[in-house]
Amino acid sequence: MPRRPTNRMGLVLLLLVVAGWTLPVQQPATADELKQAELDVPKLLPVLELTPGMTVADVGAGAGAMTLVMAQALGPSGRVYATDVNAFQIDAIRDQANARHLENVVATLGTQTSTGLPDRCCDAIFVRDAYHHFTDPSAMNRSFAAALKPGGRLAIIDFGPAPGTGPPPNVPANRTGHGITSTIVEQELQTAGFQLIRTIPRWPPGDKTDEYFLVLARKK
């Protein structure tokens, strides 16, 4: 039987709100995020050489839009791991997958230094809009390598530093703003032992905003 919250806990939550703290809540994928994922996933599949029945991980999955659409694309015989450092988001992804009867989604809590994925579980991994937040990219890149099968592909989708912005907290000193250059991503992946395949300067192809790039590498 679940325990009811105590008066003390209620007082703590009230004090946090009064002090201006934002309490973490689940943020499910919005209709716009799902619509964008439905456009992006078909373009990402051939880049990662994914076909139905294969296994991929969405690291830094956030609200889970890419996870949900990817799970549909890979079919019931495939598997999509979704990892994030926010436990509330992991719960939200599980709830959304269950509501859609997507039994091939596995939501896993990660950390700042580890994906939380099993060794050699994945044919491919993608990281969208999250790499520039990594406080220990070297450790995360080692974790990517451990989770990939030999020859597995890794795609980092991110954007360049926005002018006049500061980097996120606690990231390496070579970050020059909110974002990251493709050159730094390439260097860090090579240092981690990945083989670079190519960099796509505008992602997805044909996008007119020129906001995102994609760095593609493989585990040797």
Q: Confidence band (pLDDT; 50, 70, 90) for 210?
A: confident
Mean pLDDT of the chain: 89
Q: Is residue 53 part of a domain?
A: yes
Does 21 map to a domain? no
Tokens 């719960």 correspond to what residue? Answer: 91
User: CATH number, domain at 194?
Assistant: 3.40.50.150
For 117-136, what is the mean pLDDT?
Answer: 98
Q: How far apart are CA 91 and CA 50, in angstroms?
A: 26
Look-up: residue for tokens 């992006």? 40
| Span 73-126, pLDDT tens digits | 999 999 999 999 999 999 999 999 999 999 999 999 999 999 999 999 999 999
Whether 18 is in a domain gets the answer no
Which residue, 84, 40, 95, is CA-closest to 62?
84
User: For 133, which DSSP code?
Assistant: G
Residue 24 is predicted with a pLDDT of 54
Whether residue 104 lies inside any domain: the answer is: yes
User: With bands split at pLDDT 50, 70 and 90, how would you rate the model's confidence at 207?
Assistant: confident
pLDDT for residue 25: 62
The three-state DSSP-derived secondary structure of 175-188 is: CCCCCCCHHHHHHH
Say if residue 12's pLDDT is above 50: no
Which residue range(s) make up the domain with 82? 38-218
Cα separation, 67 vs 165, whole angstroms: 29
Q: Is 168 helix (H, G, I), strand (E, B) or coil?
A: coil
- Whether 197 is in a domain gets the answer yes
- Whether residue 194 is contained in a domain is answered as yes
pTM recorded for the entire structure: 0.88
The number of domains in the chain is 1
Report the side by side order of strands in the sheet with 105-109: 105-109, 79-84, 55-59, 122-128, 148-159, 212-218, 195-203
Residue at 54 is within a domain: yes
74/56 Cα distance (integer angstroms): 9
Q: Is residue 193 part of a domain?
A: yes
pLDDT at residue 36 tops 70: yes
